[in-house]
Amino acid sequence: MKTMLLYLKPYYKKISFGFVIKSLGTLSELMLPMILSYVLKSVLGKSVGDILLWGGIMMLFAALACVFNVWANRIAARTSSSFAETMRKDLFKKILHLSAAQTDKFTIPSLESRITSDTYNVHRFVGMAQRMGVRAPIMLIGGIGITLLMDAYLSLIMIAIIPITFCAIFFVSKNGIPLYAKVQTAVDKMVRVVREDVQGIRVIKALSKTDYEHRRYEEVNRTLVKSETRAGVIMGSVHPIMTMFMNIGSVAVVAVASGRVQNGLSDPETIIAFMQYFTQISMSLMTVTRMFTMYTKCAASANRIEEVLTADTQILVHTKTEFPDADTDARIKFDRVSFSYNGKRNNLNDISFEVPAGGSIGIIGATGSGKSTIVKLLLRFYDANEGSIYINGEDVRTIEKERLYAMFGSAQQHDFLYADTVKENICFGRDISDADIEKAAEIAQATEFIHGFNDGYAHMLAQHAANISGGQKQRLLITRALAAKPQILILDDSSSALDYKTDAALRRALAENMQDTTLVTVAQRVSSVKDCSVILVLEDGNIIGIGTHEQLLESCIEYKEISDSQMGGAFVE
C-alpha cells in the first residue's frame, strides 16, 4: 500500500479540499435532526411565519448538504480516475520494461489481470474512501456527540455497542486480504485459459476439442467460484453481524427511551431526533463495514500491483570496465556461451561462433534444441550464465537498450500484427519513408499481394491479421523487419508458411539487396539456411555441426539426414 500512497501524493491538495467540502456537507446533514427536534418542541403551535422560517432553514441545510456532497463526489471521481490513469500508465510501462525472465515469473495472464481488475479494485476503493471515508466518521462521531448532549443516558447504550461491532468487523476482515489474493490468483488462471482458447480457437475447432477446452475452462472456473465463495461468505458475514448488533442497540434504546419518557426524564421530540441520529450512525457503521470489505480487496490488489512496480530491473547496462570490448572484426561473436532458463539444466552449452558484417548464419535443429534461445540471448532478452556475446566487438551487456535494439530487425514465427493498416503495421511507430517501405516489401516478396488490395498499403488488417493468409502475414513481418535497414536481420522460423519458390525468391532478394546486413536465419528447413556463410546444427543445446552446407553434408550425419529427408538431396531454386 505504500506505493499506492505515493501515487496519491500529487493529489493531496485536491483530496484535502474535497475532504473539507464533504465535511461541510456532512455537518449540514447532522443539523437536520437537531433542527427538527427544536421545531417539534418550540415552533409547532406558533405563527405560520415561524414555521415557514424554520422550514426554510431546514431546506437550506438540506440544499447545502446536497450541493456540498455532489461537489465533493465530483472531486473524488476526478481524483480517483486521474490516480488510476497514472498508476495504469506506469504499470503498463513497467510491464513493457520487465525482463523476459520477470515476465515468465509473473506470467502474461497475471500481468493482464493486474493492469485490469487489480487497478479497478484500487480505483474503486480510492473513490469510495474520498466519498464515504470522510462522511462516515464525521456522521458517526458527530452523531454520537450530539446525542450525548441531547440524552447522555441513551447515548451510552449506543456507545457500548460500537466497540463490539468494530471488533467483530476487524477480526473478520483480517482474513479478507489473503482470501482475495487467492481470488485474484484464480482469476489469473482463468484469464490464461481464456487467452489460450481465444488465440487457438481455430485449432480447437479443427481438432474437435471444444468439449475438452470447455472442461478445462470449467475446472479453473470452479476454482475461481470456490475462492470467491469462501471470500464472499466470510466477508459477507460482516454486514449481518453489524446489523444484528445495531438492531440490538436500537431495541435497547427504544426500550429505555419509553421508560424515560414515562418518568418525565426525556420527551418524545428528543427521542424522535435521537432515533434519526441513531439511524444515521447505523448507516455510517454499515458504510464503514463496506469500506472494510473493499479495503481487503484493494489491499490484495495493491500488493499485486506493487510487486510489479517495485520489481528490480534485471537487465542492467554495465560498464566496459566490467565487460571490456573484444578484439574482433566480427559483427556477431558468441564466446563459450552457456545458458539455463531455470538454473537447473543448461539449454545452451558452450556455444561459440563468429559472423562477419554482411555475412549470414543459419541455425537448424530439432524443436527444443536451443535455436530461438540463441536469438533471445543475442537480443538480450536474457543474459548468458557463462561466456560473452559481442556485437561489433562490444559486449551486449554494455550497450544501451535503445542503441542495441536499433541495430536489429526481427521477424519471429509468432510475431503479431494488430488491427490497423498494412502501412502502420510495417512502420510500427517508426519514421520510415514510403520508398523504404516499398523497397522492403519488394525484398520480402510482399509487393504483389499488397498491391492486390483495392486500397493497397491503406488496407485494414483484422485483429491478429485474421483476414490474410499465414504466408502473407510472414511476408509483412519480414517487411517490417527490413524497413528500417537494420545492421542485423533475424528471421526466426519466419518463412515456415512460405512455399519453396517464394522462400527461394526471398533468399535471393536478401542476398542481392542486403549485402551490408548480417543475416541470422533460424529454420526447420535446410533450403532456408543452405546458402548461409556458416550453419550451426544444434541438438539439446549443443553444437553438433558447424560449417557451410557442403561441409556439413560431408561432416555432420544429422544435417545430411535432415537434408535428404526434406528434399532428397535436391533443392528448388
Q: What is the CA radius of gyration of the chain?
A: 35
Residues, the chain: 573
Q: Distance between alpha carbon 510 and the CA centroid of its chain, in Å?
A: 39
Residues 261 and 255: their CA atoms lie apart, in Å, by 10
Q: Quick one: 155 and 237 in the same domain?
A: yes
Q: Quick one: 332 and 363 in the same domain?
A: yes
Q: Would you state the cell numbers that stand for residue 493, as one nine-digit string?
A: 522460423
- What is residue 493's three-state secondary structure? coil
Q: Is 536 exposed, middle or buried (0-12, 13-18, 19+ CB in 10 A)?
A: buried
Helix, strand, coil percent values for the chain (each to nearest 5): 65, 10, 20
Q: Quick one: 469 and 535 in the same domain?
A: no
Identity at 528, one-letter amino acid code? S
Low-confidence stretches of the chain (pLDDT < 70) are 1, 45, 169, 172-177, 199, 202, 207, 239, 314, 567-573
What residues form DSSP beta bridges with 537?
364, 545
Q: Quick one: 341 and 447 in the same domain?
A: no
Residues 557 and 566: their CA atoms lie apart, in Å, by 14
Q: Would you state the cell numbers that stand for residue 347, as one nine-digit string?
A: 539449454
**Largest separation between any pair of C-alpha atoms in the chain:** 118
pLDDT at 165: 73
Q: Would you state the cell numbers that stand for residue 234, as one nine-digit string?
A: 466470510
Per the structure, the complete domain to which residue 544 belongs is given by 315-407+486-573
CATH at 373? 3.40.50.300
Q: Is 417 exposed, middle or buried (0-12, 13-18, 19+ CB in 10 A)?
A: buried
Residues 302 and 4: their CA atoms lie apart, in Å, by 7
Residues 507 and 512: their CA atoms lie apart, in Å, by 9
Question: Looking at 271-416, which runs of residues are DSSP E strands?
Answer: 330-339, 348-356, 360-365, 386-391, 394-395, 408-412
Q: Quick one: 46 and 195 in the same domain?
A: yes
Burial 381-409 (b: 16+ CB within 10 A, else e): ebbbeebbbbbbebbbbbbeeeebeebbb
Nearest to 508, CA basis, from 487, 527, 486: 527
CATH at 13? 1.20.1560.10
pLDDT at 151: 75
End position of a domain, from candidates 309, 334, 361: 309
Nearest to 272, CA basis, from 549, 447, 107, 38: 38
Q: Is 509 exposed, middle or buried (0-12, 13-18, 19+ CB in 10 A)?
A: middle
Residues 111 and 308: their CA atoms lie apart, in Å, by 8
Instruction: Please report which residue ranges of 151-174 form alpha helices under DSSP H.
Output: 152-173
Q: Quick one: 419 and 398 in the same domain?
A: no
User: Residues 346-374: pLDDT tens digits?
Assistant: 899 999 999 999 899 999 988 888 898 99
Residues 437 and 85: their CA atoms lie apart, in Å, by 35
pLDDT at 570: 45
Q: Quick one: 128 and 220 in the same domain?
A: yes
Residues 7 and 297: their CA atoms lie apart, in Å, by 18
Q: Quick one: 461 and 491 in the same domain?
A: no
pLDDT at 407: 92
pLDDT at 205: 73
pLDDT at 573: 43
Q: What is the DSSP letter of 114?
A: I
Residues 382 and 376: their CA atoms lie apart, in Å, by 6
Angle at CA of residue 38, ends 33 and 42, nearest 5°: 155
pLDDT at 296: 79
Residue with cell 519458390: 501
- What is residue 57's three-state secondary structure? helix
Show Cβ contacts of residue 213 under 8 Å, excluding neighbours closer than 6 positions: 193, 197, 204
Q: Quick one: 126 and 254 in the same domain?
A: yes
What is the CB neighbour count within 10 angstroms for residue 493? Answer: 21
Identity at 12, one-letter amino acid code? Y
End position of a domain, from candidates 285, 309, 333: 309
Residues 472 and 468: their CA atoms lie apart, in Å, by 6
Residues 508 and 487: their CA atoms lie apart, in Å, by 18
Q: Would you state the cell numbers that stand for residue 573, as one nine-digit string?
A: 531454386
Residues 523 and 45: their CA atoms lie apart, in Å, by 98
Residue with cell 451510552: 156
Q: Quick one: 349 and 419 in the same domain?
A: no
Residues 499 and 445: their CA atoms lie apart, in Å, by 12
In what helix (H) or strand (E) does residue 542 lie, and over which residues does it extend?
A: strand 542-547
pLDDT at 525: 80
Contact 453, 479 (CB under 8 A): no
Residue with cell 490484495: 300
Residues 266 and 3: their CA atoms lie apart, in Å, by 52
Q: Quick one: 345 and 213 in the same domain?
A: no
pLDDT at 199: 67
Contact 309, 90 (CB under 8 A): yes
How many domains, in total, are found in the chain? 3
End position of a domain, from candidates 309, 325, 344: 309
Q: Quick one: 425 and 506 in the same domain?
A: no
- What is residue 491's three-state secondary structure? strand
